[in-house]
Structure 1
Amino acid sequence: MLFAILLPGISMIFRGHVLKGILCGILHITLIGWIPAAIWAVASYREDLAEKRHRETLEFLARQQR
């Protein structure tokens, strides 16, 4: 998560969000835009974690029903 705060655009690109990462990187270039870019990257990171947990829960429930 520290990586998402320090380099928000690159962290989004590494997680597979290329276009969002480029836009976030452009926003990060300005000092004023760095704070919203960092918040956006952290929110995106947490959303990816939530989606992963959701998929794992669905897989677990599907295995339990068999």
Structure 2
Amino acid sequence: MIRGKVLTGILCLILQITLIGWLPAAIWAVLSLNNERADKRNDRLIKAMRENRK
């Protein structure tokens, strides 16, 4: 929810509350965080490549 994805955050929270849904929700949260970090890493790489081209 902090990153601006309110609806997916609420859905993940609802899944975590249920007994069956906590494992998929936990995996989903880890993958989402990993994806966000990969996006930031890719943005830094693209920026560095553009700076080296000049």
TM-score (norm 2): 0.92
For the pair shown, the structure with the greater C-alpha radius of gyration is 2
Instruction: Output aligned runs, 1:35-50, within 5 Å.
Output: 35-50=23-38
Over aligned residues, Cα RMSD in angstroms?
A: 0.8
Task: Give the total of aligned pairs.
Answer: 54
Moved over 4 A (4+): none
TM-score (norm 1): 0.77
Cα offsets for 1:6-55 (capped at 9, x unmatched): xxxxxxx1222211101111111101101100000000000000000000
5+ residue gaps, structure 1: 1-12
Higher share of residues assigned helix? 1
**Partners in 2 of 1:16 and 1:41 — Cα distance?**
14
